[in-house]
Amino acid sequence: MNPFWLFLVVGVGLLAVEMLVFQFTTFWLFFIGIGALVAAAFAWLTVDASYLMTTLVFVIASAAVTALLYAPLRRWQKQPSAISGNNAVGQTVTVKNSISKDSAGLVSWSGSDWQAELAADQQGEIVAGDTARVVAVEGIRLVVARNNKG
């Protein structure tokens, strides 16, 4: 296998895992995947690209992409959603699996099931069938608190 195909397969694989499994909650596989695609492009454009030279391009490209994109992507990730109705904070969810300090649970919100954990200031348990209020979103996990009744 020549360097082009190796780095192309690695790059596409890493990008697919980042998108499908991690859903852009971490960016490390994205950065390395982009570096692998740059190395594949280098190997394709260079007639006699060796593994050593292509690997060097891969390492440099991965480091450069990380240096350029890490801070802006983190700012973008932490930014509240600008799309109306897309921000879960403040929304009411239905608890499907009980949630306590010791164990995460499952809630239903916006037609989907979400992993959920109990907010730090909450005690006890929110049992299945109750409703809760979303107080934060951490990656793809919702942080919930009891709904104030009354």
pLDDT of residue 27: 84
| CATH number corresponding to 92-146 | 2.40.50.140
* Ranges in the chain annotated CATH 2.40.50.140: 92-146
Q: Average the pLDDT over each of 43-52, 64-73, 119-128 and give the range with the smallest value.
A: 119-128
Query: For the stretch 82-115, what's the b/e string if a residue is b when 16 or more beta carbons lie within 10 angstroms of its beta carbon?
Result: eeeeeebeeeebebeebbeeeebbbbebeeeebe
> pTM score > 0.85 for this model?
no
Q: Over the stretch 54-87, which tens digit does the pLDDT of each residue have?
A: 999 999 999 999 999 988 888 877 765 544 445 7
